[in-house]
Amino acid sequence: MFNVLSAYAGDPILSMQLAYRDDARPEKTNLSIGLYYDDQGRIPRLNSVQQARERVLRSTDPSMYLPMSGNPAYCKASQVLVFGADAPALHEGRIATIQTVGGSGALKVGADVLRKFFPGSQARISDPSWDNHRAILEGAGFVVETYPYFNRDTQRLDFDRMVADLKALQQETVVLFHPSCHNPTGADLSQAQWDQVVDIVVSRRLIAFLDMAYQGFGDGLDDDAYLVRALVRANASFLVANSYSKTFSLYGERCGSLSMVCANADEAGRALGQMQQAVRRNYSSPPAFGASLVETVLNDAELAALWRSELAEMRTRIQTMRSRLYEGLCVQQPDVDWAFLMAQKGMFGYAPVLAQHMMRLRNEHAVYIIESGRICVAGLNDANVDRVAHAFAAVLK
Ligand code: PMP
């Protein structure tokens, strides 16, 4: 019966984790997967989240199903974080938000809803983008093409070509944007550049689908959400997926949310209903525990302040490691212009120049990066950054 099933090639990033785990060299360094590590090379347990966990575990309530749309207090807190507490659209009731199974679940539910009501639309993702964007959108039935984003020669954003391409898209094309900390390139748009994109989205009637998986890892919680806020100001109708996996260090709890920003409250009511139906058909309702942790932190002034300071610490550590890597590379390879690294934001550094050396980095230096040349800067620390700079220089010689 099932011999018709073809083999799944697996996810190359996840497969690499197994090779890394089995590598016996003590100096091994994992810069492949998008995880935030602390200076000791550990996945942190945030104090704010720990305190919330203690409170939640004290509860003797039974574990009941959540509604299809998830924990209401969590959805409200997510709206405030994503859109800002004083967003008029929130008070007008025209934003519908559900709790989702991580950021990935938000992308899937959003893609299902869009596909159902815009069956003639194509989808566009940046070139390059997080691999799962294509997989999720195609899985929902979309034909997926790319828009120009990154120039591999200059190692920087290719804004002019991006804009020209967006201007030529058919109305109601679904366009996926990374509001900040672009994965994999770390090359972000400036606020003035986002303003131009917003004008195009509105005038061309494109359907913007924002994937915000790293809010607060770039310049800060509000700055990183600039595109969200600008689209709201422009009265656009759009979607936002967000994720707490990295910012709360809660990878396994699968916490995210999906919001649909609508023209009015009546439309938002129907958007909520359609998201609920998509959830019901996929997994019925989201898990409760992780959302209760996030909600407890965000809805308690003291814990929220503590979390913001822990987030700022993670952001600063990434920036420091980026500078240290840059300085190390400038010393080792003074004839290469590494300035592009410093122009990038968030967890990733993108150095296509290293892509072809991936296997040598792994075999000769125990440094793991992925095929595209993406480096997880958050995997660097005081103990390994100089050695990594040396390894990069050695393979590039
Ligand atoms: N979007 C992007 C750009 C990501 O990098 C990730 C995580 N790697 C996600 C979405 C998915 O987030 P989650 O793990 O919460 O599903």
Q: What is the pLDDT of residues 7-20, one digit of tens each?
A: 988 777 888 888 89
Q: In angstroms, rounded to a whole number, what is the distance separating the alpha carbons of residues 91 and 85?
A: 9
Catalytic pick from 108, 246, 307, 345? 246
Pick the atom of ligand 1 nearest to 178's CA.
3
Whether residue 215 has its Cβ less than 6 Å from ligand 1? no
- Residue 324's region, left for phi above 0, alpha for psi from -120 to 50, else beta, is alpha
Q: How far is the CA of 213 from the centre of ligand 1 (A)?
A: 5
How many Cβ atoms sit within 10 Å of the Cβ of residue 267?
15
Average pLDDT, the chain: 96
Structure tokens at 361: 């980095």
pLDDT of residue 30: 94
In this predicted structure, the answer to whether residue 89 has a pLDDT above a threshold of 90 is yes
Best substitution site from 33, 78, 104, 149 to test ligand 1's pocket, by max atoms within 8 Å of Cβ? 104
pLDDT of residue 170: 98
pLDDT of residue 351: 86
Weakest mean pLDDT among 153-157, 189-193, 269-273: 153-157
Q: How far is the CA of 212 from the centre of ligand 1 (A)?
A: 8
Decide if 248 contacts 277 (C-beta within 8 A): no
Whether residue 213 has its Cβ less than 6 Å from ligand 1? yes
Structure tokens at 119: 């069956």
Instruction: Tell me how many degrees the CA angle 175-178-180 measures, rounded to the nearest 5.
Output: 155
Residue 16 amino acid letter: M
Q: What is the average pLDDT across 289-308?
A: 98
Nearest to 252 by CA among 290, 212, 206: 290
- Domains (ranges, CATH) in the chain? 10-45+313-396 (3.90.1150.10), 65-299 (3.40.640.10)
pLDDT of residue 110: 98
- Residue 205's region, left for phi above 0, alpha for psi from -120 to 50, else beta, is left
Strand partners of residue 376: 348
Whether residue 186 has its Cβ less than 6 Å from ligand 1? no
In this predicted structure, the answer to whether residue 353 has a pLDDT above a threshold of 90 is no
Catalytic pick from 211, 224, 338, 345? 211
pLDDT digits (tens, 9 = 90+) for 131-142: 999 999 999 999
Best substitution site from 101, 132, 136 to test ligand 1's pocket, by max atoms within 8 Å of Cβ? 132
Q: In angstroms, rounded to a whole number, what is the distance separating the alpha carbons of residues 295 and 304?
A: 10
Catalytic pick from 108, 112, 130, 224? 130
pLDDT of residue 16: 86
Whether residue 348 has its Cβ less than 6 Å from ligand 1? no
pTM above 0.90, yes or no: yes
Is residue 307 annotated as part of the catalytic site, yes or no? no
pLDDT of residue 352: 80
Q: In angstroms, rounded to a whole number, what is the distance separating the alpha carbons of residues 106 and 100?
A: 5
pLDDT of residue 76: 98
Nearest to 277 by CA among 95, 138, 66, 112: 112
Dihedral in degrees, nearest 10, Cα atoms 279, 79, 82, 77: -100
In sequence order, the 6+-apart residues with CB closer than 8 A to the CB of 313 are none
Sign of the four-CA dihedral 148, 345, 15, 241 = negative
Structure tokens at 290: 């992780």
Q: In angstroms, rounded to a whole number, what is the distance separating the alpha carbons of residues 356 and 371?
A: 7
Q: In angstroms, rounded to a whole number, what is the distance separating the alpha carbons of residues 259 and 208?
A: 12
Three-class HEC string of 287-332 = CCHHHHHHHHHHCCHHHHHHHHHHHHHHHHHHHHHHHHHHHHHHHH
pLDDT digits (tens, 9 = 90+) for 167-197: 999 999 999 999 999 999 999 999 999 999 9
Q: In angstroms, rounded to a whole number, what is the distance separating the alpha carbons of residues 155 and 185?
A: 9
Q: In angstroms, rounded to a whole number, what is the distance separating the alpha carbons of residues 72 and 66?
A: 9
